[in-house]
Amino acid sequence: MVSGGKFNAAKLALEVVRDGMVLGIGSGSTVEIFLNLLGERIRREEMEIYGVPTSYQSYFTALRNGIKIVDLEYEPEVCIDGADQVDAKMNCIKGGGGALTREKIVASASKKVVIIVDESKLVEKLSMPVPVEVLPFGYPYVVKKLHDMGCSEIRLRHGSGKVGPVITDNGNFVLDCNFGVLEDERVERLEEKIKTVRGVLENGIFPKKIIDRVIVGKG
How far is it, in rounded angstroms, from Cα 143 to Cα 134?
9
CB-based contact 102:139 (threshold 8 Å): no
Contacts of 10 (CB under 8 A, 6+ apart): 30, 31, 33, 34, 37, 116, 217
Is 15 one of the catalytic residues?
Answer: no
Which helix (H) or strand (E) element contains residue 69?
Answer: strand 68-69
How far is it, in rounded angstroms, from Cα 9 to Cα 6?
5
Query: Active-site residue among 103, 133, 191, 202?
Result: 103
Burial of 210 (0-12, 13-18, 19+ CB in 10 A): middle
Q: In Å, how far are 56, 66, 97, 173 from 169, measured between CA atoms? A: 8, 23, 10, 10
Q: Known catalytic residues?
A: 103
